[in-house]
Amino acid sequence: MKDLGAPALMGISKVGKKSRPIKPDPHFGPPLKCTKRLKEIMTRHYMLSRYAEGAKPVAWVTSGAPVEVLRPFGIYTVYPENHGALCGAKKMGPELCAVAEEHGYHQDLCSYARIDLGHYFSGKTPAGKLPKPDLLFASNNICQTVAYWYKALSHYLKIPLILFDTPYNFREITDSDISYMVRQFEEMIPVLEQVSGRQFNYRKLQEYVRIGKDASLTWGEVLATMKSRPAPMTIFDAFGHMVPIVSLRGLPLALEYYRTLLSELRERVSHGVGAIKRERKRLMWDNIAIWYKMRDHSSLFAGQGMNFVTATYTNAWAETTPYMDENRPFESMARAYSLVILNNNLNSRLELMERLIKEYQVDGLVIHSARSCKPYSVGQYDLKRLLMERLEVPSVIIEADITDSRAYSEEQTRTRLEAFFEAMEG
C-alpha cells in the first residue's frame, strides 16, 4: 500500500482540483525546492493514516513524547498537535475550537487541545480523515494540559493511555529522576506488546534511537545554515520544514529528507542566495508560530528587510539531541526528553536565548505571548527585560494564539510592530 497504493491515491485526490497561483512576493529570494518533497511526504503520511486503522496499531502521540519506544512495535503514529497546526494554517481553528467549547471546554484551554477535541466531536479535518487510535501516548514534558487532554480522549475512545512523566528540572536532573523515568519505560513494554501483538526487540529500539538522533542532529545543521549572511531560509520556512522531525522522528524517511534539505541550503549559502532579497536586520522568534498569520507576517517583516534566523521553538527539536545514545537507549531518552525547553527552568531558557542571539547575530527579538500556551508564555516579560538589559536587543511582545484567530487583534499587533520597526532603525 505505502509503495504503490498511496502514490496512486494521492494522484487521484488531485484530479479536478485547481490550485490558485500564488503571486510571487518581490521581497523574497527563490523558493526552496525541497518544499515540494515535504508536501509529498506529509500528504503520503496523512493518506496512509486513513488506511492504517485495522491494518496496523495506531497511536496518537504528543510532540514531546519519546516516540522511539513505539517504533519497534510497528505502531503508526499521528500527532494531534501537528494536526492542530495544520487546522490553524487552514484557518479552521476557530470553528473546531468552538465545537469543543460547545461541549464545555473553556476558551482559555490550549487551542491544540480544543481543535483535537473539536475534531473528535465533529469529525471535521482538512486532512480528510484521521484514523481511530488504539493507544494514546503522552508526555508532560511540554505541559500538564496534555495529561488531562489525553485522559479525556482515553475516556471518550475507551482506549489505554500511556503517560511518560518527566520531573521538572528546577536546577538539574538527578540520578533518581533518571531511574524513575527508566522504570516507566520498562513498565510500558508489556502494554505495548499487548496493543501491538509484537514482542519487544531491544536491537530495533537501538536502531530507531540512532536514526532519530541522526535526523535531529541533521535538523540542527539545517538550522545552523541560518548563521550565514544572508540566511538561506527564514524561520517561517523552518516552521513548515520541522514537521518531519516531529511526526516522523525515528524513521529513515525523516533523516533522508533533512539530508536533502541540508544539501540544498548549503548550496544556497555557497552561492550567496538569501531567503529574502534585502536582509538588513536579523531577528529571533520566541514561542510557537501564529499559524494563521504565517504568510502575512513573513511578507510584513521581509518588506522591512528583516529576516527571522532563529527561534526557541525550532531549536527545541535539536537542542537535547546530543544526550541520545543507542547503547543506553532508556537512560539517554530519559535525559534528552526531560531537558527540553518547556521542562527546564527559566534561567536555562534565558541562557539559551542569549546564546542564540549571539550565535545568529540577532538584531531584534519578537516574542509571541500565546494566550492558550501558558507554559511557553510564562516569564516572557521578565525574559524580555533581562535580554534588553544584558544585550540591548530591541524587543516586542505580540499577544495572540497559536491557532485560534479570535484571540488576535490586528490593530494592536500593527501598533506594537510599528513601534518595534522604529526602534530597530534607531
The domain segmentation of the chain, as residue ranges, is 26-425
Whole-number pLDDT of residue 21: 57
In terms of pTM, does the model score above 0.75? yes
Backbone angles phi, psi at 210, to 5 degrees: -65, -45
Residue 147 has pLDDT above 80, yes or no: yes
> Quick one: pLDDT at residue 20?
58
- In order of 92, 270, 375, 382, the CA distances from 346 in angstroms are 33, 37, 11, 10
Mean pLDDT for the stretch of residues 321-341: 96
Distant-in-sequence, close-in-space partners of 50: CB < 8 Å, separation ≥ 6:
128, 129, 130, 131
Separation CA 34–CA 11 (nearest Å): 19
d(CA 205, CA 306): 43
pLDDT of residue 1: 42
Helix (H) or strand (E) holding 54: none
Give whole-number Cα distances, 413 to 20, 131, 212, in Å: 29, 38, 38
Q: What is the pLDDT of residue 161?
A: 98
Of residues 390 and 3, more confidently modeled: 390
The mean pLDDT value for 68-72 works out to 97
Average of per-residue pLDDT values in the chain? 93
Rounded to an integer, what distance in angstroms lies between the CA atom of residue 390 and that of residue 407? 32
Rounded Cα distance between 420 and 417, Å, is 5
Residue found under cell 484571540: 407
- The per-residue pLDDT for 22 is 60
Span 399-411, pLDDT tens digits: 999 999 999 999 9
**Phi/psi at 372 (nearest 5 deg)?**
-100, 5
Over residues 93-111, the pLDDT tens digits come to 999 999 999 999 999 999 9
